[in-house]
Amino acid sequence: MAIGSSLFLEDTISRTIGAIYDAAVTPERWPDALRHLRDAFGTGSTAYVMHNADRSRVVRFAAEDDPEGHRANVETLLRGSIVYTQGSKGHAGQIIRASEVVPDKTFHRSRMYQEYWRPRDLAHGLRLTIAIGGGTHHAINLIRTKSGIMFEERDIALARILMPQLQRAVELRRRLSDIDVLAGAALTALDVLRHAILLLDQNGRVLHANASGETLLRAADGLGAREGLLHARTPAATSQLHAVLGRAAGSGGAPARGGAARLPRGQGRQLALLAIPFQRDAAWSLSLRPAILVCVTDPDAASRLPVRQLAELFGLTAAEGALAADLLAGKEPREIADASGRSINTVRTHLAKLMAKTNVNRQSDLMRLLARLPPLAVTDPD
């Protein structure tokens, strides 16, 4: 019987640890991990609680059904809980009975006990403080009903076995979250660029395209993609393109090096393509590993900045912002006046105000200033 009990406990621990790491990778699976903990400890309420330093933000996952309204109410109770306001502060790795955090007589007068514990006939609690740091507190709260026994030394021993796994899981989630934030910020930054940016794998397949890149590939005017592989307008241009990409990927064991190519488009126009080796080491990743960063521009396209952003940068009126955008697009004052139906004197007056607000003395200096601004994608409806 003892052997069977031991094997059952080992299987329970193994399954619980597996569920904990599943939850670390996919937080939505925390309720499943908590159900394993509930079964292992025989609890009536089992929850994973995260909160910031002042408890203004509390997030709770529970083993039991936790509708949004119910969870919000419990999170409100947790923010003002006597356990935090009057109880011992605890430390990372601490495993402690609820009665040792706050005396029962004190806790029984609290709102948390009256509104949550008592209606559910809860009586015995065990808190596992997983991590404290970086402005965040992580803990598992295990609570048994009055019909259950108090937490004993064997429960503490089981919690000690699981604590290192819980701590590693929280650290894994933190690192994955940091990566998600950085990746999201990087992709957002790529999407605001006017240049088409493509990330390719070592075989030249497109892993990601920013918004301008997707537009370019859909148009397939000079550069397109078939089954993820880039192709140019003509077979000769495609061969040149693949040769440049091969050098950037370090094909054949040669050192990876950047390269450039001009790709023909319709109506005698061309695209300029720059292929850069992607140097960030990601040897642990066996798939979706970027090897080449490709930047594609249209030298024939007139440069243009969003009018609203120009106005915000320099405190311009709408008319002055529109003038700045037209000048950067290569238009002359007389051409701008004719196209807008305004007199040349009006355009020159706007130009003088524009130069004063941008602190330049010559139109050539104004053009240099505007050309050096970040190449943001045009999002204004103008």
Q: Is residue 203 part of a domain?
A: yes
Tokens representing 59? 């997030």
Q: Is residue 68 part of a domain?
A: yes
- The CATH number for 105's domain is 3.30.450.40
**Would you say 112 and 82 are in contact if contact means Cβ atoms under 8 Å apart?**
yes
Question: How far apart, in Å, are the Cα atoms of 140 and each of 62, 67, 98, 106?
Answer: 10, 19, 12, 22
20 and 97 both lie in a single domain: yes
Q: Is residue 382 part of a domain?
A: no
Task: Say how many C-beta atoms besides its own lie within 10 A of residue 268's C-beta.
Answer: 7
Which backbone phi and psi does 107 adopt, to 5 degrees? Answer: -65, -35
**Would you say 16 and 40 are in contact if contact means Cβ atoms under 8 Å apart?**
yes
Most distant CA pair in the chain: distance in Å?
101
- The CATH number for 315's domain is 1.10.10.10
Q: Is residue 91 part of a domain?
A: yes
Number of domains the chain contains: 3
Q: How far apart are CA 303 and CA 310, in angstroms?
A: 13
DSSP 285: -
Would you state the pLDDT for residue 286?
Answer: 47
223 and 350 both lie in a single domain: no
Q: How far apart are CA 357 and CA 374, in angstroms?
A: 19
The pTM score is 0.69
130 and 18 both lie in a single domain: yes
Nearest to 55 by CA among 80, 73, 33: 80
Which backbone phi and psi does 208 adopt, to 5 degrees? Answer: -155, 145
Domain termination residue (choose one: 297, 331, 351): 297
272 and 320 both lie in a single domain: no
94 and 13 both lie in a single domain: yes
- The CATH number for 236's domain is 3.30.450.20
**Would you say 331 and 324 are in contact if contact means Cβ atoms under 8 Å apart?**
no
11 and 44 both lie in a single domain: yes
202 and 152 both lie in a single domain: no
353 and 289 both lie in a single domain: no
Domain termination residue (choose one: 278, 297, 316): 297
Parent domain of 347: 307-371
Q: Is residue 108 part of a domain?
A: yes
Nearest to 206 by CA among 287, 290, 263, 296: 290
Would you state the pLDDT for residue 305?
Answer: 64
**Would you say 297 and 303 are in contact if contact means Cβ atoms under 8 Å apart?**
no
108 and 71 both lie in a single domain: yes
Q: Is residue 381 part of a domain?
A: no
Matching residue, tokens 């697009």: 329
Task: Say how many C-beta atoms besides its own lie within 10 A of residue 60's C-beta.
Answer: 18
pLDDT means per 10 residues in the chain (382 residues)?
63 94 95 95 94 89 82 86 78 94 92 93 95 91 94 96 97 92 84 85 89 92 93 94 92 87 88 86 56 83 68 87 83 88 92 92 87 60 46
Give the residues across from 259 on adjacent strands. Answer: 275
Give the distance from CA 163 to its chain's centroid.
28
320 and 209 both lie in a single domain: no
141 and 37 both lie in a single domain: yes
Q: Is residue 33 part of a domain?
A: yes
Tokens representing 156? 């503490």
Give the residues across from 129 on adjacent strands. Answer: 139
